Amino acid sequence: MTIRDAYALDGKLPSPDARFDLVVIGAGPAGTEAAIAGARAGKSVLLVDENPVAPDLMRTDVPLFYGLRMTGAVETPERMLETLLSTNPLLETAFELGVEVLLGTSAWGLYAPQPGLATLPGQLVGLADATRSWLIGFDELVVAAGARDFVLGFPGWDQPGVMGAMALKMLLERYEAFAGRRIVILGSGDLALRTALAALRHGIEVAGLIEVRACVQGNAALAAQVAAAGVPLFAGSVVTRADGGADGVKQVVITGLSGETSIACDTVCLAIAAVPAIELLAAAGARLAVSATRGGHVPMIDAAGLTSLAGVSAIGDCAGIVSAPDSLAYHAEWLAALARGSTGDTIVCQCESVSRADLLGVQPPAYLGARSECMAARNIDTLLADGPPDQDQIKRLTRAGMGLCQGRRCRDQVSLLLAAEAGLAPDAAPFTGYRAPVRPIPLGILADWAEAPGMSDGWDVWFGVPAQWTPYRDIGTEREAMHIAILGGGHI
């Protein structure tokens, strides 16, 4: 008989609470259509979407960069559910075809058996809503997680009213809950132009588009529509700072060929880029690639959309966003331009209050009060002398990216800043990984309250090695047996 270690994970991880032939993550257009197609093919289908997102999570800029520009409407989940259903008519078709639709439900972890995780009872996806978390098994899983905001900082970006284009689109078109009145948009590519037109359609005033390059970057027809609406384009310009008060942004100051200009606005919308939302796939160990024409880091997929994880495919924006061949260089140009207006005090990581000087100085965060003379002599240059830039190492040392927003607001700028310091091309910029849970989930909700007895019985605080905790002087004495009997396996 094969002996198994009683304190190993073998056989202890729970089976899924339910199984579906097909699970779809994300009920945007691509995901909803995939769910409908699955149901039409006779599959049992679960379609989950994290919207409406809990308002307290929105206030931390998860999963999008909302910049605290939500109206009070987001505080009423029932009302938000109605709005979301009315703004996505395809969902009704999915319901009619028998798709199980769960809104307000996030997918926080995707797990596949692999070397190092052989004890997993098949592929699982972890879900959570406002009251509990659970595990679902599947034959096929389609990730249609969409895009997330690409965020770069500048002086004054760490105040209410600075937000991302994906968040603005969500608040305008799905939530009908955008609180701003007059916005300035950064960027002039298709994303920025579409954002401007969407804002105008919803009665929002667009005070201007700021473009770091010399001319408009997006589609000419879209640009003409924006121009026809009387929206000025400030080309060859960059935001030097956003000024504000208690309610956040009041104006932005831009610097261009003609010097400094102030533009009154209550919102600055970063529409330089949107990037594929790969966090669920990346955390699960799916193979990734860097592609300028697909918007940066994307899952590697075959012609059928399958990722490197068996049965798991990616569709829609999370599989790649059509981008210009020089899109990554464009991101870096924006970073460099915004950095020129920044100072050492400019915040890079809002959650952990890491300034630009601390990041490039590789200093511990100020709240530790742990500065020393030796520490002061260390910086990004001394660190780069030891090897290529490593964003995970920078995270550990400076805490940039270690906060509640899970690095959503700083991961891109830290990566590009490190690449710039190391003289690396943007496509060789360092990449920091994702870990489950890829949404911040409260302890009490993530908890497995129905834990199986096998898990509890086979739980040891460490490895359950009986001899490990015997005091050294008692090793080899008769007292050793006594300690082992009491402190051995099942050390709690």
Partner 1 sequence: MSGSNVVVIGAGVTGLSTAWWLARSGASVTVLDKGVVGWEASSRNGGGASHYHSPLFQEEQRLWPMMDELLGYPTEYQRGRVIAAMTEKQLTHYHYMADMFLELGYAVDRIDPHQAIAFSPLLSDANLGGIHLHFGGHANPQRTVQAYAWATQDLGGRILQNTPALRLVAEGDRVTGVETAQGLIGCDAVVVAAGPQTAVLLAGIGIDLPLSAARAEMIITEPAPLMPVGGVDGNGLYGRQTLRGNLAYGGGPHEWLDTGPGSPPRPTSPLSRNLARRVAVLFPKAAKLRVIRSWAGVVENTPDGRPVLDRVHGNVTIGVMSGVGFGLSPASGHALRDLVMDGQCSFAEIGKLKLDRFQGLAPDWREQRGWFPAALA
| Residues 266-305 interacting with partner 1 (rule: CB under 8 A) | 285
The nearer residue to partner 1, 96 or 392, going by C-beta atoms, is: 392
Q: Is 127 helix (H, G, I), strand (E, B) or coil?
A: strand
Residues of this chain, 62-121, that bind partner 1 according to CB under 8 A: 109, 111, 113-121
CB of 137 to partner 1, least distance (A): 12
The nearer residue to partner 1, 29 or 113, going by C-beta atoms, is: 113
| Window contacting partner 1 (CB under 8 A); options: 6-14, 79-87, 148-156, 411-419 | 6-14
For residues 367 and 353, what is the distance between their CA atoms, to the nearest angstrom? 9
Question: Alpha carbon of 30 to those of 1, 62, 145, 309, 477: distances in Å?
Answer: 50, 21, 9, 20, 68
- Show the tokens assigned to 14: 């729970």
The nearer residue to partner 1, 37 or 397, going by C-beta atoms, is: 397
| Window contacting partner 1 (CB under 8 A); options: 98-106, 191-199, 248-256, 484-492 | 484-492
Length of the chain: 492
CB of 442 to partner 1, least distance (A): 5
Residues of this chain, 420-479, that bind partner 1 according to CB under 8 A: 435-437, 440-444, 446-449, 451, 455, 458-463, 465-473, 475-476
CB of 471 to partner 1, least distance (A): 5
Among 5, 82, 92, 247, binds partner 1 (CB under 8 A): 5
DSSP state for residue 272 in the 8-state scheme: S
* Residue 180 contacts residue 66 (beta carbons within 8 Å): no
**CB neighbours of 321 closer than 8 A, spacing ≥ 6?**
147, 274, 275, 276, 294, 295
Q: How far apart are the first and last CA of the chain?
A: 28
CB of 111 to partner 1, least distance (A): 6
CB of 331 to partner 1, least distance (A): 25
Contact flags string 22-41 toward partner 1, x per CB under 8 A = --------------------
Strands 133-143 and 18-25: parallel
Residue 200: HSE in the Cβ half-sphere, 13 Å Cα cutoff: 18
The nearer residue to partner 1, 118 or 246, going by C-beta atoms, is: 118
**Does residue number 7 form part of the binding site for partner 1 (CB under 8 A)?**
yes
CB of 277 to partner 1, least distance (A): 17
The nearer residue to partner 1, 30 or 125, going by C-beta atoms, is: 125
Question: Residue 63: is the preceding peptide bond cis (ω within 30°)?
Answer: yes
DSSP for 170-205, please give it.
Answer: IIIIII--B--SEEEEE--SHHHHHHHHHHHHTT-E
Among 135, 207, 309, 349, binds partner 1 (CB under 8 A): 135
CB of 177 to partner 1, least distance (A): 22
Angle at 398 between CA 394 and CA 399, to 5 degrees: 95
10 Å Cβ neighbour count for 75? 14
Residues of this chain, 386-415, that bind partner 1 according to CB under 8 A: 386-388, 390, 392-393, 396-397, 399, 403-404, 406
CB of 396 to partner 1, least distance (A): 4
For residues 155 and 133, what is the distance between their CA atoms, to the nearest angstrom? 39
The nearer residue to partner 1, 423 or 472, going by C-beta atoms, is: 472
CB of 284 to partner 1, least distance (A): 8
Size of the site for partner 1 (CB under 8 A): 88
Contact flags string 228-267 toward partner 1, x per CB under 8 A = ----------------------------------------
Angle at 139 between CA 136 and CA 142, to 5 degrees: 80
For residues 25 and 229, what is the distance between their CA atoms, to the nearest angstrom? 37
For residues 400 and 392, what is the distance between their CA atoms, to the nearest angstrom? 9
CB of 119 to partner 1, least distance (A): 5
What are residue 381's phi and psi, to 5 degrees? Answer: -65, -45
Residues of this chain, 349-378, that bind partner 1 according to CB under 8 A: 352, 364-365, 367-368, 370, 372-375, 378
